[in-house]
Structure 1
């Protein structure tokens, strides 16, 4: 018989000794495109939402006019960086590509990035197995991910209510607004919650340091709405798609239209949005308390120099870094060796890691906090 108790404070798990950091390589086996795939997808003619929508038409026109697309294609970081250079310096590119048009262009490219990734997001057996093993061992961990997709979020649903996810940001959903349905309400894992079963639920940080497809931002009151089971966007109608009528599309407090909250890949990163500042702060605090960092499918791309700096500032170089990556390129290994004196590099996939003795050993180590 399942017991129920109200007003139970979850186990706080504030600075876990074991922290996982996920990169694009952890989602790629489940069909999520990596950044080098995005520009080719935009330029080919296979997707009618891109070729027929106004955002798609504008981006394709911009790429054709400003980059050599018959030869080597630009990277996504290069395109965003080119736009950001002009915006950050208040420069127009031309009489056609004015500052106003460049602002619109960046917004449209962000929407397309959201669309391409969300259209490929389904479910992940790897992340389901990852969370199930965490629950079986009642392991206290922390998670930082650079990915926008919702594979890791949706797989977490399988271990609720033994574990409660903490995105480490404030959410509109915590306030239970009267003008949205209870379907969109969300438990705040930092406050007492209802306990189902015999064991106290464990609060687990899931820090999506670059934002998430299921986060919606209000530019008016600067609050974030979580749409747990909704991550898609429709380019043609410029709306968020949903399988229910209840999903949040406008701010319940001021009626302002919500937008995607993702930090785009660019070499010129600025943290003007306090949400991302909060996420970096939480990530640094979490890394500082870790005895082991486990990087899975992460290759430290050039646009992510801030992640390298974050680890360098906060992680004790005497502690262990475990790297799970299908590539064993020397330059990649060297990037990790500059962060710790104790690097255990394993050339393997995420799927193979989940079946390995190494993963079993990590799960069997005692939680000390």
Structure 2
């Protein structure tokens, strides 16, 4: 069985922003003027890091998104503020505003997707294979891969409920823009629209199980600290772990193995170390112009036999 793991670089090949570029793209695509939550992020950056956000160039002198979210998450975990202006309740609102910013800019980026990009070519290559011969893991919130699969005639199974075996398993470990979580009954609904940046109260959307209208997006940030997961997403992680155990070949696409994403590293190592005597899988990395640090991280974690394709994601499988 082949296991494909997609990182932000795969969606960047379709025009979505890489993590390091997300703040600058948000400034360009979402304003000015900005809505209240996006402006709250800029105000937070200015207050904490002493740099006014007055244009995309300002982010050359500010920490990237994942570092900012990690800092906020750590403060909330420790129940400590960041200076007199940002006590924990206000930091929680900043955390919500950061999620809103991320989902809004990704939603805007999806409107610029190419007609026949790498995901479409990848999905067509899968169309002739039995669904059980591969599993797809994605760390991206966008639905670019999901949409490409549907166009190719493949209905993704997100692993949120009982499997029917009719489509490929697409396990989105960090959530998805088209998922809505109901805190009242813990149900995650899959909808066709990108709704995460509109919740908790988009018009006409309610939980299909209990009727609650207080829904939340499912956006798990790639930081040192993972907040408690909804029960259906814990099921997704369990299926991902089993896929790592069964994989004969693991292909990383557009993923740099960032140090902050310890949860994914833990999942991979735990799966590899509990394979019940099976031979180690082949490890392949599809990327573009990887840094020496990225190459070193993969080889330290998986050994010197990691194979690199440095031509970038073009849809190869």
Q: Which of the five TM-score ranges fits, normalised by the shorter chain?
A: 0.7 to 0.9
- Runs of 5+ unmatched residues, structure 1: 1-16, 171-187, 192-200, 360-369
Offset of residue 56 of structure 1: 1.6
Superimposed CA distance per residue, residues 198-255 of structure 1 (whole angstroms, 9 cap, x where no aligned partner): xxx7431100010000101112221111112x115666x9755xxxx8xx62223232
**Secondary structure of 1:96's match?**
coil
TM-score w.r.t. length of structure 2: 0.85
* CA RMSD after TM alignment: 2.5
| 2:303 pairs with 1:346 | no
| 2:83 pairs with 1:127 | no
**Secondary structure of 1:143's match?**
strand
The within-5 A match list for 1:325-336 is 325-336=287-298
The 3 A distance-change label for structure 1 pair 55 and 321 is same
Residue of structure 1 in register with 2:54 after alignment? none
Question: Which of 31, 36, 44 is matched with 1:62 structurally?
Answer: 44
Moved over 4 A (4+): 232-235, 237-240
Superimposed CA distance per residue, residues 33-68 of structure 1 (whole angstroms, 9 cap, x where no aligned partner): 1111122244x46633x6431112211111110013
Q: Which whole-Å CA distance do the structure 2 matches of 1:25 and 1:314 have between them?
A: 24
Q: Which whole-Å CA distance do the structure 1 matches of 2:222 and 2:64 have between them?
A: 10
Number of residues paired by the alignment? 299
Q: Which whole-Å CA distance do the structure 1 matches of 2:98 and 2:182 have between them?
A: 19
Larger RCO (alpha carbons 8 Å, 6+ apart): 1
Contact map agreement 1:20 1:142 (CA 8 A) in 2: yes
Q: Which whole-Å CA distance do the structure 1 matches of 2:207 and 2:280 have between them?
A: 46
Contact map agreement 1:249 1:257 (CA 8 A) in 2: no
Contact map agreement 1:221 1:254 (CA 8 A) in 2: no
**Secondary structure of 2:180's match?**
strand
The 3 A distance-change label for structure 1 pair 116 and 97 is same
Residue of structure 1 in register with 2:285 after alignment? 323
Residue of structure 2 in register with 1:7 after alignment? none
Superimposed CA distance per residue, residues 280-301 of structure 1 (whole angstroms, 9 cap, x where no aligned partner): 2111111100000011111111
| 2:222 pairs with 1:265 | yes
Question: Which of 8, 20, 29 is matched with 1:36 structurally?
Answer: 20
Contact map agreement 2:196 2:217 (CA 8 A) in 1: no
TM-score w.r.t. length of structure 1: 0.74
Residue of structure 1 in register with 2:156 after alignment? 165
The within-5 A match list for 1:295-334 is 295-315=252-272, 318-334=280-296
Which structure has the larger Rg? 1
Question: Which of 12, 15, 30 is matched with 1:47 structurally?
Answer: 30
- Runs of 5+ unmatched residues, structure 2: 52-57
Question: Which of 222, 242, 246 is matched with 2:186 structurally?
Answer: 222
